[in-house]
Structure 1
Amino acid sequence: MTRLNRLTPETAVGASRDLLADLVSRHGRVGDMVSTMAHSPAVLGGYLQLGRAMRRARLDRRISERISIAVQTHQGCALCLDAHIDAARSLGLDEEEIERARAGTSADPAIAAIIALALQVHREPSSITDERIVEPREHGYSDREIADVVGVVSLNVLTGAFNLLAGLSPATTDGV
């Protein structure tokens, strides 16, 4: 059972109504997470802006999806986890690599290093040391890609935490 009602352009007010109306006019409909986020125009607007910004990330999308899978496995948002697993499959990741991502690693040492950094950003960012940053650099990641990890993790924390708070799950929704 969901904890927050879904809103539509007709039931939302103020900035949320405008954001939802714009999204519906451009996409035909919005998912349950977005329609529920509309209770807070600040949260909805922040999510939309961060999502747009992260589309400009330098980090390869197949790596970002692995990071998302690792973070959502830890965070416990089944709705997000399912969405990121579907996205990973659509990008050609095999089931073994998806399972490795769920375990917070990869068969590729470079990808394993960036996933480990992402999980540390998620779990305990205050414990990140200079040495933790050396490993991704040694695997060829740029400072921009390393910085992008924070954006990927942040977007996942936002969506996962929101879905968990709102009671959105694969059983209660028709998708993110």
Structure 2
Amino acid sequence: MPRLTRLTPDTAVGASRDLLADLASRHGHIGDMVSTMAHSPAVLGGYLQLSRAMGRAKLDRKTSERISIAVQAQQGCGLCLEAHVGAARAMGVDEEEIARARAGTSDDPAIAAVIALALRIYREPTSITDEQVAALREHGYSDRALADVVGVVALNVLTGAFNLLAGLTPESDTGA
């Protein structure tokens, strides 16, 4: 059961009202996470900006979704995990690769290496080694792509932690 209430453009105030009204006019529907984030204009605005920015990431979307699955499997946000699994399926990622991503790996060594990096960033960023970064470069990852991994992880930490605090689950969600 949700712990925080959803807000609408009519019930939100200030900057949150403006952000929700803009989203409603552009998309027609505002999902539970976004409408609940509206309690904090700083969190909502930050989420929207980071989400838009990560849409321009250098990482391949299929890889980003597998990273998101791996992080959310660790973090425990069922709502986020379900959303990222659905997105991965829609992009053609097969069920075996989705299962591997949940386990923090991939059949593709380059993707397995970047997922391992993402999980280190999530769990223990001080454990990242020069050798690990060099190995990622050998797999073809640029500095920009490696920096983007941090953004993907940060976005997942934000959304997952928020949903867990707010009590948002796949059963409680009324839309994206």
- TM norm. shorter chain > 0.5: yes
Aligned length: 176
Name the residue aligned to 1:10.
10
Unaligned 5+ runs, structure 2 = none
Paired with 1:139 and 1:175, the residues of 2 have a C-alpha distance of 37
Paired with 2:28 and 2:142, the residues of 1 have a C-alpha distance of 38
Following superposition, the deviation at residue 173 of structure 1 comes to 1.1
- One-letter amino acid of the counterpart of residue 11, structure 1: T
Where do 1:143-158 residues align within 5 Å? 143-158=143-158
Paired with 1:135 and 1:149, the residues of 2 have a C-alpha distance of 15
- One-letter amino acid of the counterpart of residue 39, structure 1: H
Match of 2:3, SS state, is: coil
- One-letter amino acid of the counterpart of residue 148, structure 1: D
Question: Is contact 2:106-2:112 (8 Å) kept?
Answer: yes
Name the residue aligned to 1:120.
120
Name the residue aligned to 1:40.
40
Name the residue aligned to 1:106.
106
Following superposition, the deviation at residue 174 of structure 1 comes to 1.7
Name the residue aligned to 1:66.
66
- 1:116-136 CA-to-partner distances (Å, cap 9, x unmatched) read 000000000111121121111
Paired with 1:92 and 1:173, the residues of 2 have a C-alpha distance of 24
Paired with 1:95 and 1:174, the residues of 2 have a C-alpha distance of 25
Name the residue aligned to 2:83.
83
Paired with 2:45 and 2:132, the residues of 1 have a C-alpha distance of 33
- 1:84-143 CA-to-partner distances (Å, cap 9, x unmatched) read 000000000000000000000000000000000000000001111211211111111111
Paired with 1:10 and 1:138, the residues of 2 have a C-alpha distance of 52
Paired with 2:175 and 2:43, the residues of 1 have a C-alpha distance of 19
CA RMSD of aligned residues (A): 0.6
Question: Is contact 1:106-1:112 (8 Å) kept?
Answer: yes
Following superposition, the deviation at residue 155 of structure 1 comes to 0.2
Paired with 2:106 and 2:175, the residues of 1 have a C-alpha distance of 27
Provide the TM-score with structure 2 as the length reference: 0.99
Following superposition, the deviation at residue 175 of structure 1 comes to 3.2
Paired with 1:34 and 1:155, the residues of 2 have a C-alpha distance of 13
Paired with 1:120 and 1:59, the residues of 2 have a C-alpha distance of 17
Identity over aligned pairs, percent: 77
Runs of 4+ in 1 over 4 A off after TM superposition: none
